[in-house]
Amino acid sequence: MNDERWPNNARSAVILTVDFSDDLGVRTQVPAIEGREKSLSVWRYGAKRGVDRLLDAFGEFDVPASWFVPGRVAETHRDSLRRIDAAGHEIGISGYRCEDFDALDLAAQKHAFDTGQAALVAATGRGAQGFRSFTGNWAPGFAPFLQERGIEWSSSWRGDDLPYFHHDAPLIELPLHYELEDEPYFAFNLAPPVPVGQSRIASYREVLANWKQDFDAFHRFGLCFVLRLHPEITGTAGRIGILRDLLAAMRERGDVWFATGAQVAQWWRSQRDVNEPGHPVDIYERHRSALR
Domain boundaries, position 262:
7-290
CATH number at residue 152: 3.20.20.370
Strands (E), the chain: 12-19, 66-69, 90-93, 130-131, 153-154, 164-165, 172-173, 224-229, 256-258
Rounded to the nearest 10 degrees, what angle do helices 51-60 and 78-86 cross at?
A: 0
Does residue 2 belong to any structural domain of this protein? no
Does residue 189 belong to any structural domain of this protein? yes
**How do residues 237-254 score in pLDDT, each as one tens digit?**
999 999 999 999 999 999
**How do residues 125-146 score in pLDDT, each as one tens digit?**
999 999 999 998 999 999 999 9
Does residue 90 belong to any structural domain of this protein? yes
Does residue 1 belong to any structural domain of this protein? no
Query: How many domains are contained in the chain?
Result: 1
**pLDDT at residue 1 greater than cutoff 70:** no
**How do residues 149-195 score in pLDDT, each as one tens digit?**
999 999 999 999 999 999 888 999 999 999 999 999 999 887 887 88
| 115 vs 100: CA distance, rounded Å | 15
